[in-house]
Amino acid sequence: MKIKMSKLNVFQTLTAVLAVALIASIGFIATGGFTGALISRDSPENTVDFINKNLLPEGLNANVVETVKDGGVTAILLEIQGEQVEVYTAGDYLFLSGMKMSEFEMPELAGAPEVEQQAVEVAKAETPKVELFVMSHCPYGTQIEKGIIPVVELLKDKIDFEIKFCDYAMHGELELDEQMLQVCIQKEYKESYLDYLKCFLVDGKTDRCLDELKLDTAVLNTCIEELDSEFKVKELFADKSTWLSGRFPQFNVHQDLTIEYGVRGSPSLVLNEQLVNTGRSPAELLQTICMGFEKTPEECLTSLDNLSPAPGFGYEGYGDATTATCG
Domain ranges of the chain: 10-98, 129-301
Instruction: Give residue 102's Cα distance to chain centre.
Output: 27
| Residue 80, beta-bridge partner list | 62, 83
Q: How far apart are CA 261 and CA 275, in angstroms?
A: 6
CA–CA gap between residue 165 and residue 150 (Å, rounded): 20
Using the predicted structure, report yes or no on whether residue 159 has a pLDDT greater than 80: yes
Say whether pLDDT at 181 is over 80. yes
Residue 109 has pLDDT above 70, yes or no: no
Indicate the DSSP class of residue 118. Answer: P
Q: Which pLDDT value is given to residue 21?
A: 52
pLDDT value of position 35: 38
CB 279 within 8 A of CB 318: no
Question: Sign of the CA dihedral 264, 233, 169, 147?
Answer: positive
Across the range 50-72, mean pLDDT stands at: 76
Cα angle vertex 45, ends 39, 46, to 5°? 20
State residue 69 phi and psi, 5-degree precision: -100, 135
14 and 43 Cβ atoms separated by less than 8 Å: no
Q: What φ, ψ does residue 37 adopt, rounded to 5°?
A: -70, 140
Among residues 305, 315, 320, 317, the alpha carbon closest in space to that of 142 is found at 315
Judge whether residue 30 has pLDDT over 60: no
| Confidence tier at 91 by pLDDT (50, 70, 90) | low
Percent of the chain with pLDDT over 90: 61
Average pLDDT score over the chain: 83
Residue 120 DSSP one-character state: S
Q: What is the pLDDT of residue 44?
A: 76
Residue 35, number of CB atoms within 10 A of its CB: 11
Give the confidence band of 108 by pLDDT, cuts at 50, 70, 90.
very low
The CATH architecture to which 129-301 belongs is 3-Layer(aba) Sandwich (3.40)
Give CA–CA dist 284/115, Å, rounded: 6
pLDDT band at 48 (very low <50, low <70, confident <90, very high): confident
> pTM for this structure?
0.66
